[in-house]
Structure 1
Amino acid sequence: MIGRRKVITGGIALAALVGAGAVYLRDTPGTATYFAPDGVALRGADVVAYFTDGAAVIGMPEYAHRWSGVTWHFATAENRDAFAADPIAYAPQYGGYCAWAVAAKKEIFSTRPENWSVRDGKLYLNFNDQVQQTWEEDPEGYIATGDAVWPEVRAKLS
């Protein structure tokens, strides 16, 4: 027979774990602006490479730069230095969260480096291949809506 004290203690421990998980999913304080699992922006994708190479390239920790509360990885020292000189030019829109989800659902979804698009000199990332296909059907419409709702969605992160 399980005693009342064990049930209460177990419930408190479970609540603490669930609460800790919720905080992690929403990012830790100071990193909520950018999608940064484990404190590394965009799962380590080199954001400069989207513009220079036209491809998703995973960066390396030895070419890291800290900006906006998170660590950004780059494939080369040149890419790191370009980002450090003008991070706003390369940082993804909507904090690197799924652009479609921001626009269509007013929600934040994680992203995968290989689901991306550069439009008018700005980087947009998406959740998966299917979402990327949907995004590509009307990128201008999703961008207009996303730009309008991003301040509201971003407020949910803090």
Structure 2
Amino acid sequence: MFIGLVSSGLAKEPPIYTPTFSNVAVSGYDAVAYFTQQKPVKGDPKFSTEYMGAKWQFSTAENRDKFVKNPEQFAPQYGGYCAWAVAQGWTASGDPTLWKIVNDKLYLNYDKDKQQKWEADIPGNIKKANANWPKVLN
């Protein structure tokens, strides 16, 4: 079951996924750490910045500063929404512990099942998701 699933046309979604009753991107995980430490690392509110209407938290001031210099390099694709869902034409929450870096871009998925489906055809799913993004937000 897709909790938080939004069909295109039913609601206007923000460009960056944040959990209900929160304005924190990537559920508070450090978007830069995926690239520098190759794992999800919880961010610290004292190392934060604002980007595209969301608050981003980082584990270090250095990671925050890297993000501020080039947020497009580190922010997850499709605003942190599930990459597989966007490929299907809708949005679902992205789980920061279900991630993959492909061609220096960070992708998140909703759950392990959706991640397996996405990984079955990463190039095809990226192509479909790129064609659907950002239209799925409307």
| Structure 2 CA distance for aligned equivalents of residues 26 and 68 of structure 1 | 15
Structure 2 residue ranges without an equivalent (≥5): 1-10
Q: Are 2:78 and 2:134, in contact at CA under 8 Å, matched by a contact in 1?
A: no
Q: What whole-Å deviation, never above 9, does each CA across 1:36-81 have from its counterpart, x for those lacking one? A: 1200001101110111111011101011111111100001111001
Point out the structure with the larger strand share: 2
Name the structure 1 match of 2:80. 96
Does 1:108 pair with 2:91? Answer: yes
Query: What amino acid maps onto 1:126 in structure 2?
Result: N
Q: CA deviation at 1:135?
A: 1.1
Q: Which runs of 5+ in 1 are unaligned?
A: 1-24
TM-score computed with the length of structure 1 as normaliser: 0.76
Asked if 1 retains the 8 angstrom alpha-carbon contact of 2:17 and 2:93, the reply is yes
| Residue identity (%) | 44
Where has structure 1 moved over 6 Å in runs of 4 or more?
A: none
Bigger relative contact order, structure 1 or 2 (CA pairs below 8 A, ≥6 apart)? 2
Report the structure, 1 or 2, having the larger helix content.
1
Residue of structure 2 in register with 1:139 after alignment: 122
Tell me how far apart the structure 2 counterparts of residues 26 and 43 of structure 1 sit (CA, whole Å).
20
How far apart are the structure 1 equivalents of 2:55 and 2:43?
11
CA distance in 2, matches of 1:35, 1:137: 24
Q: For residues 68 and 94 of structure 1, what CA distance do their matches in structure 2 show?
A: 12
Aligned position for 1:128 = 111
The structure whose Rg is larger is: 1
Amino acid of the structure 2 residue aligned with 1:36: T
- Give the letter aligned to residue 131 of structure 2: A
How far apart are the structure 2 equivalents of 1:58 and 1:108?
Answer: 24
Counterpart of 1:21 in structure 2 is: none
